[in-house]
Chain A
């Protein structure tokens, strides 16, 4: 007797708990909305005040002829796009240069960054010195000094040619030869791998050492540990670095601006540099805006691709979707 009453009571209790849980969940969901928006409020405000208007303005300008100096842009519809795609050989050269750069510099940079991050992820003596040394080039960034330095190294009388002379080769005009100029910029990008390296390092540090210890006990070797522990645990960070490097790769500007100026023969005329020239040097900001929005679409496309693929290889400890 008591058992049945008990079980009914339990059943009633369980049902009550379910109803309570559902109600609480709904309340929790609502609370989550408010909490969510409160947390992202700083960004949202900034987005509306500082970003949306300029972005919308530039979208509008893409369909106009705007030379900055006149106050009123002139509507021209699709003329900018037509000129860009059909009648501007330099446009396609800039697309080519940029794609070439992204395809080569981005993977190289990430590979080096990961490699060096792993090398430096130790407690050996002096590792903090090495870390500083490897990060140092990135600190130099896009200053005037970097440009001079880089042109010095790759110049006809520069260090690199000193090395080639040592081995008996003729000096190469790295910066003046259309075949090699872009490699000086790729080298610059790879030299400054400090940023993704630092992020990888931070990610590596977050991998609990217990995992490695447990794996060792289970008899796992170095390669196993790398592929079964390091890579998966690092995958959110890899995703981040990949996305950011792809985006910044497409928008590469400063290095070409200060080191080569797009020369020679436009082999280093990156998209963003050409866009800048068109906008500010040629007083064709409408055209530049059109170029910018095409770039945005292309970059968004590739970024979406990366994100879509991420569900296959990114492992989140917190088991959530993007």
Chain B
């Protein structure tokens, strides 16, 4: 019995050592990864002059909240809360729209054989390859004729039509699901739609969540489309507002810019942390065994 105990102790020690090594390595690299962000947050608590003079220290010598206060006041009488609201509108709604429609389209491309599938798939990929900079003016003219300028429509409507990146990504996940599940459902009398809602959709949760995280933060930091389509400053998203803050021809309040940039990262982070729980659970295709 003591031998078994000794053996298990060695094993425990080994596992502990392994665990320690793991944490040491991962944490060290993690610190290096996150250092620039720590610097950003630290700087937001320093006064503007201290930021440039006392560059390396992560701990501000004079801890101050003025950057946050000034930054939150926004400019032109529009406080940052307005920009937050706009960003949430754009990112939140946009994400819901795009993830759901992308899943639907992905199922079509990934699971259903139909005439012309390869052609349309190639078209879809092609839309990814033309830089936004040259299509934005013709698109602007389209929306201008539809009289949708200075609204969120040009930003949100295209989201109702899926987005090539997510469609492709979800397709690849759908392909990873064994067809036997589909066939089983078909035998049970399910149509394609039924298979989609009952079988596929639950199984691609991690992909949907990943897509949601991406879509959220891409919308959050997009500035070209808001710049072009949103005229009134009261509609500006955070990304645009921050750019307007940092004007090279005049003086910029860098402390406030850092503070607001830091704050603007918080929602995205929360979205990520909240959703990654679902990633952890993952799914096992244990449906096969049953």
Contacts and interface: CB of A to CB of B under 8 A. Distances in A.
- Interface-central residue, B191, B254, B261, by most chain A CB under 10 Å: B261
Contact of A148 (B34, B127, B254): B254
Given A35-B112, A198-B213, A244 B162 contact: no
Interface string B188-204: 00011100100000000
A44 B120 contact: yes
B107 interface: yes
Interface stretch (B4-12, B76-84, B136-144): B136-144
B56 A300 contact: no
Given A40-B120, A130-B27, A148-B257, A139 B269 contact: yes
A317 interface: yes
A288 B283 CA distance: 46
Interface stretch (B59-67, B88-96, B273-281): B273-281
B179 A318 contact: yes
Interface string B30-74: 100111110110000000000000011000000000000000000
A64 interface: no
B246 interface: yes
Nearest to A299: B129
B246 A133 contact: no
A319 interface: yes
A205 B22 contact: no
B258 interface: yes
A240 interface: yes
Contacts, number: 282
A131 to B, nearest CB: 6
Contact of A55 (B35, B120, B135, B206): B135
- Interface of B, helix, strand, loop or mixed by DSSP: helix
B19 interface: yes
Given A144-B246, A275-B133, A209 B126 contact: no
Given A152-B55, A295-B131, A139 B261 contact: no
Interface string B95-134: 0000001001101110111110110110111111111011
B142 A53 contact: yes
B133 A141 contact: no
Contacts of A38: 108
Contacts of B245: 144
A144 B261 contact: yes
Nearest to B161: A46
Interface residues of B, number: 105
Contact of B221 (A137, A141, A276, A289): A141
A253 interface: yes
A42 B101 contact: yes
A205 B279 contact: yes
Contact of B33 (A137, A203, A208, A288): A137
Given A145-B261, A203-B173, 16 more contacts: A32-B112, A43-B124, A45-B161, A50-B161, A138-B217, A143-B242, A148-B257, A149-B36, A159-B56, A191-B33, A233-B176, A239-B172, A247-B129, A251-B131, A253-B133, A319-B179
3 interchain residue pairs of minimum CB distance: A46-B161, A39-B108, A36-B114
Interface of A: 29, 31-33, 35-40, 42-47, 49-51, 53-55, 57-58, 61, 68, 116, 119-120, 124, 126, 128, 130-145, 148-150, 152-153, 157-159, 162, 191, 195, 198-199, 201-203, 205-206, 208-210, 233, 236-237, 239-240, 243-244, 247, 250-251, 253, 272, 275-276, 279-280, 285, 288-289, 292-293, 295-296, 299-300, 303, 316-320, 322
